[in-house]
A and B are shown apart, each in its own frame.
Chain A
Amino acid sequence: MTAGPPSGTEVRRDGLHRVAPGRDALIGSRGGRRPGRGGEVVPPAEFRSYYGRAVIKPPVWKAHNIAGYLFLGGAAGGATLLAAGADLTGRPDMRRAARLVSAGATGLSLAVLIADLGKPERFVHMLRVVKPTSPMSIGTWLLSGLSPLVAVAALDEVSGLLPRRWADLVGRLARPSRLAATAIAPAVTTYTGALIANTAVPAWHGAYRELPYLFGASALAAAGGLVAAASPTSEAAPARIAGIAGSVAAQLLDRAVHRRLGMLAEPLTKGRSGRLLRASRWCAGAGIALLTASAVRRSRTLGVAGGLALAAESALTKFGYFHAGTASAADPKYTVVPQREHAPATPA
């Protein structure tokens, strides 16, 4: 037996060359090697896994579709509420802005959700059943209910552009649509928390108590921000307040999630999620400051900037949580370690 160039003994016709140390060690002698299992190479054991492979499957959803939907759906639901409020309190410009935001976000939500299915025509299979055990089923029905209602509301805003007959029909449907949409909208903002928490993904499931509140608050921040940005400063006060309240609540709830998750919060603070969530905090601060300043100075420019900052905060939060979930699923540590703490006792 000879070895290649780097080291080891070469056997040649004229004898052995470069004899490896310990080569002639006798059985029973230590030969200079350390006993044990090469412990100097193995780092301290924290948990065990099958070749470091993930135990569960990370979500196959595309981030821009599903994390995008978490943001858009929230904005749609929140804007629908603000539209109703603006309507009731006589703020026509804000109402128009809110209705257009709500219809636009709802339309985009449906578009990204259907896009994620791969084949759009398969969407109709969602409408075969109503399944309370599946937040996605309930969510599909909520969104399918909301879409035509907010579409009618948005058309009512632009009825001047419609043919006369259509404008009349839309005008008659506008009020019942608005009421129904307002009833559905709050659930649309929060069910997404249950949607992603209802998985085996450690960072999501672990936060199932907080996620609906966090996503609802974040939805208000997004909707308040977008509507405030799209409305005249004089009418936008409720949107500003809702946005700021949502933003503050979302940041507090984000803290609560971190406390709840313990070691599972690691994916929220590391890597891409960590960067996204840190950026969302900066956006929250900037948005709140700018919107407050816009209210004081009656500045539309500041309002637009602040509103967009809050919307960005919401989007960054949703993307941050989405990626944290994926990261927590891809690393066996987050599945094995928490489960090991309360796993059944094993023999010997």
Chain B
Amino acid sequence: MLTTYRLTEHHTAGGMSRWLPYLSELQPEMFCEVSPELADTAGLDHLGWATIVTARAAIEARVLVTDRMVPVRVHDRIVHQVGLPYHWGRNGITTGDSANDLTHMALDPDVHIQEVKALTCDIRPGRRPRGPDRRRLVEEYQRRAGISATTGTTHRTTERLGKSG
């Protein structure tokens, strides 16, 4: 499960704050935060690289292992969380992959803004593939998960959403 959030040091997607040295030096790199449990399970090292893959894209980020990320129990399943700040992009003093590449085009059912707080993802150690391999990696995940271009495009009413959780 992936969630995104802001850091106090940057402003929205970082388009302005990534150009300011005083702010960029305080949060100089795209990172992902994981619990020690997930780091153990997925083989992630503190300050190492990780690749985060969703049905839409694969990005890379440095790993911060922290107790602040807590695995949660949903019914009888343990769900790990990956925390991603969404302040990075290709330009500025500090650059990095953008968390927005991962997010889906869905609206929050209550307030109808983009839903970026809970996405399913995979995390694996190491940097992401470059060039066409990056696309191939995502396609491999899509194939295994059975996701096609039409997945998620079916109109659902709020009643149905409410029922299915």
Contacts and interface: CB of A to CB of B under 8 A. Distances in A.
**A–B direct touch in complex (beta carbons closer than 8 A):** yes
Interface of A: 1-8, 12-13, 20, 23-27, 38
B110 interface: no
Contact of B41 (A3, A12, A13, A24): A3
Contact of A3 (B76, B79, B124, B144): B124
Given A13-B145, A13-B146, A4 B125 contact: yes
B79 A1 contact: yes
B interface, how many residues as a size bin?
A: 20 to 34
A295 B78 CA distance: 85
Q: Report whether over half of chain B's contact residues are helix, strand or loop; otherwise say mixed.
A: mixed
Contacts of B41: 3, 7-8, 20
Given A13-B144, A13-B145, A13-B146, A4 B122 contact: yes
A27 to B, nearest CB: 7
B80 interface: yes
Nearest to B76: A24
B42 A8 contact: yes
B125 A27 contact: no
Interface string B48-88: 00010000000000000000000001001111100000000
B161 to A, nearest CB: 21
A1 B79 CA distance: 6
A242 to B, nearest CB: 56
A3 B42 contact: yes
Nearest to A24: B76
B120 interface: yes
A1 B120 contact: yes
A23 B73 CA distance: 10
A147 to B, nearest CB: 45
B76 A4 contact: no
Given A4-B123, A6-B125, A23 B78 contact: yes
B124 A4 contact: yes
Nearest to A33: B37
A25 B78 CA distance: 9
B42 A12 contact: no
Q: Identify the 5 closest CB pairs spanning chains A and B, nearest first.
A: A4-B124, A6-B43, A8-B41, A3-B42, A2-B122
A4 to B, nearest CB: 3
Nearest to B120: A1
Nearest to B36: A38
A2 B125 CA distance: 13
Contacts of B36: 38
Contact of B42 (A6, A24, A38): A6
A1 B36 CA distance: 15
Contacts of A2: 122
22 contacts: A1-B1, A1-B120, A3-B42, A3-B123, A3-B124, A4-B42, A4-B51, A4-B122, A4-B123, A5-B124, A6-B42, A6-B125, A7-B42, A8-B42, A12-B145, A13-B145, A20-B41, A23-B77, A24-B76, A25-B78, A26-B76, A27-B73
Contacts of A13: 144-146
Nearest to B125: A4
Contacts of B38: 3
A8 B123 CA distance: 11
B136 to A, nearest CB: 16
Contacts of A4: 42-43, 51, 122-125
B99 to A, nearest CB: 17
Nearest to B144: A12
Contacts of B42: 3-4, 6-8
Interface in B71-116: 73, 76-80
Interface centre among A6, A8, A38 (most CB of B within 10 A): A8
